[in-house]
Structure 1
Amino acid sequence: MLHLSGLYRYPLKSARGEALASARLDALGIVGDRRWMVVDAQNGRFITQRLLPQMTQLSALWVDAQHLCLQAPGMPELRVARPDEQAPRTGVIIWRESLRVPDAGEAAAAWLSQWLERPCRLVYMPTDEGVQVDTGYAEVGERVAFSDGFPLLLLNQGSLDDLSTRVGQILPVERFRPNLLISGADAYAEDGWQRIRIGTLEFRVVKPCSRCIITTLDPGTGERHPAREPLATLKGYREREGQVYFGQNLIACGEGELQLGASVEVLA
C-alpha cells in the first residue's frame, strides 16, 4: 500500500532540513518551508550550496512561529525574529525573479557574513506574498516561497532504492531535499502520476524535477563526490533534452494537514 513515509521541511533555503511527524500546508506549501533565504549583500542574488557547499552544515530551524534559530560549527546560536510589516525591505534576485522582501536585520546578517566569509543578508518571505509559479504548469495566483520553482517536491522510495543499487551505495534521502517521500510504489511509477491524494489532501503532479550539482554533496560533510555521483549515474538513464530528472514537483489543491504514515492514492 502506498503511504507517506517521509515529511520534510527546510526553513532556510539550502540549509539543513528537518523531518516532521505532521505539517500544515498553506498557500506557499508546507508552513515554514523555505521562507528564509541568504542573499549576497551587494547584489541581492540568492546564495545556495551550489556556490557554498558549507551551507550543508548550516542549521536554521523554527523555534516557534516567530523565531528561527541559526546554528553552525564554531558559531554561537543566534535566535532571529521573523520580520514584521514595518521591517525594511531588501531587493533580491532568485533565478529570473526580482522582488523586495523583509530583511531579518543586522545581527543575522553579521552572523551569516562571519560564518560564510562573505557579506550577506538574511531575508524572509511573508505568507501573503510569494512568487508566481510558472504559468506553464500552474494557475495564475498559485505561488511559492523561496523554493526552486514549485511549492512541493515528491520522491519515491522505490526510485531512490533503484538509484542506490545503480550507484552501488545507499543514498540518503537528504541528498535530494524532498518535502514528501512515498513508499510502496514501483521505481519511477511517479513519472506517470498526474493527481494523487495523501490523506485528505489532493495534489497535482505538474513537472519532473530537474536535478543539479547539489545532489553530489554529502549532506553530512558538504564534500562533493569525486565521481559526481549520483548525478553521473542519473545522467545515464534519466536525462532528457539536457536535463536530468528525479522526483516530481507538486502543487496542493488547497490547504490542510499532512500526517506521516497517511495513505496515498493515485487518482490519475
Structure 2
Amino acid sequence: MATLSELVIYPIKSCAGLSVPEARLALDGLSAGGVHDREWMVVTREGLFLTQREYPRMATVTPRIEANELVVDAPGLPAIGLPLAHDPDAPAIEVLIWDDHVIAADCGEHAAAWFSDAIGAPCRLVRFRPDVHRPTSTKWTGTDGPPAASRFSDGYPILLIGQSSLDDLNTRLNNAGREQLPMNRFRPNMVVQGIDAFEEDFVAAFTDGDISLRPVKPCARCPIPSVDQSTGVPGPDPLDILQTYRANARMDGAVTLGMNVVVQSGIGLTLRVGQELDAELAF
C-alpha cells in the first residue's frame, strides 16, 4: 500500500511549484484552484520553450492562486497577476516544445516584459488553449488503452516519485560526502510513501476505487536537479551518483528517477494528500 504524501502542480512550466492538499484528475494531468499543471509556458520570441536548463532563475518565479488570478512573484519585481479566465481574443502563437508544434495563446506585452526581467532574457509568456489537444506518444502508452494527453509538460501528464527512492539517493550522496537533496529538485507531481526504493518502476497501476494511474515511462533526468529551487543557483549535479546505479537499459542508458504516469480511469475525481493507493506490481 502506498500513501500519497505530496501533490504539486507547476502552473508555469519550469517555474516554482505549488504544493496543494488536493488536486483534480484530468486526462492531461492535475489541476487545483482553477489552475492546471503546466498551463503556462515561457518561450523565446520565436516560440521555442525555455526551462531551468538554460535559465535556472526560473526556479525563483513563484506562483500562487488568489481569487481569480494566478499571482506570480520574482525577486526584485512587483508581482504580476494572470487572469484565470481564458481570453478568447488572445493572439494565437505557434510554440515548439520538444518535437511538438502547439498553437498557444499569447499573454501579451506586459507579461512578456515582466518575464523577460524575471529570467534575464527576452521571452514571452503563453498559455495552453482550452480548444487544443496535445496527445502523448503511444510508444510507451500503447494504442489499446485509454488515450493520454498533456499540456506543456515534457511529454506525459503526471510525474510520480517514491519518497524511498529519494531517500536511497540521499544515503548515497551522504556516503560520498555530499549534501542531501530535497524532493523539489526532481519536480514531481505526486510523491508516495510506503513502497520500497524504486518500486514505482515496477508498478502496473496505483489504484483507489475508480481511480487508476498507470506508470508508463521512466523519467530520464536532465541537469535541473542541480538547481537549488529556492535560489535558482546551480550546484553539484547528482547525475554522477545516479549514473553509478540508475542507468536504464530501457532508456538507452539514460539515468532515470521517477515514473511518468497516465490516467487510466478517474478523470474528474480528486486525489488528496494522505490518500492510500494500492500499488499493483506488474509481475
TM-score, normalised to structure 2, is 0.88
Give 2:203's aligned amino acid. Answer: W
2:263 aligned residue (244, 248, 252): 252
Q: Report Cα offsets for 1:32-64 as digits up to 9, x if no partner.
A: 1110000001x2100100000111111123334
Find 1:237's aligned residue among 238, 242, 245.
245
The answer on 1:187 being equivalent to 2:197 is yes
Aligned to 2:138, the other structure's residue is in SS state coil
Give the CA deviation at 1:199.
Answer: 6.0
Return the match for 1:80 from 82, 99, 105: 82
- Please report how far the alpha carbon of residue 191 of structure 1 lies from its aligned counterpart in structure 2 after TM superposition: 1.5
In the alignment, what sits opposite 2:275?
262
2:121 to 118, 121, 139: 118
Conserved 8 A contact 1:81-1:104: no
Deviation at 1:142, TM superposition (A): 2.0
Hey, what does 1:11 align to over in structure 2?
Answer: 11
Partner amino acid, structure 1, of 2:62 = S
Q: CA RMSD in A?
A: 1.6
| Distance in 2 (alpha carbons) for counterparts of 1:49 and 1:86 | 30
Distance in 2 (alpha carbons) for counterparts of 1:70 and 1:16: 10
8 Å CA contact retained: 1:56, 1:221: yes
1:60 to 60, 63, 70: 63
Number of residue equivalences? 264
CA separation in 2, counterparts of 1:146 and 1:114? 22
Contact 1:27–1:127 at 8 Å: present in 2 too? Answer: no
| Deviations 1:201-240 (CA, angstroms, capped at 9, x unpaired) | 11111011110000111111222224x2x11111111013
1:157 to 138, 145, 163: 163
Q: Which is further off, 80-89 or 246-255?
A: 80-89
**Shift of residue 113, structure 1, vs aligned partner:** 1.5
Q: Which runs of 5+ in 2 are unaligned?
A: none
The 2-side partners of 1:126 and 1:198 are apart by 31
Equivalent residue, structure 2, for 1:196: 206
Q: 1:100 corresponds to which letter in structure 2? A: I
Q: Secondary structure at the match of 1:137?
A: helix
**Aligned letter for 1:50?**
R
CA contact (8 A) 2:103 2:132 kept: no
Unmatched segments (≥5 aa) in structure 1:
none
* Alignment check: 8 A CA contact 1:4 1:180 kept: yes
Q: CA–CA distance in 2 between the matches of 1:221 and 1:130?
A: 34
CA contact (8 A) 1:211 1:243 kept: yes
Which residue of structure 2 aligns with residue 21 of structure 1?
21
The match for 2:71 is 69
Alpha-carbon distance, 1:200 to partner: 4.3
Of 108, 112, 117, 2:111 maps to 108
SS in 2 for 1:15: coil
> 1:40: which partner in 2?
44
Note the alpha carbon deviations across 1:6-26, whole angstroms, 9 max, x for none.
Answer: 111110000000111111112
Aligned-partner Cα distance in 2 for 1:99–1:184: 38
1:185 maps to amino acid: I
Aligned to 1:197, the other structure's residue is in SS state strand
1:194 counterpart SS class: strand
State percent identity of aligned pairs: 39
CA distance in 1, matches of 2:10, 2:78: 21
> For 1:164, what is the secondary structure of its paired residue?
helix
Partner Cα distance (1:199, 1:247) in 2: 24
2:152 is aligned with 1:146? yes
Question: Conserved in 1, the CA contact under 8 Å of 2:5 and 2:273?
Answer: yes
Structure 2 vs 1, CA of residues 52 and 7 (structure 1 numbering), >3 Å: closer, same or farther? same
2-structure distance, mates of 1:190, 1:29: 18
The one-letter code of the counterpart of 2:23 is A
After TM superposition, the score normalised by the length of structure 1 is 0.93
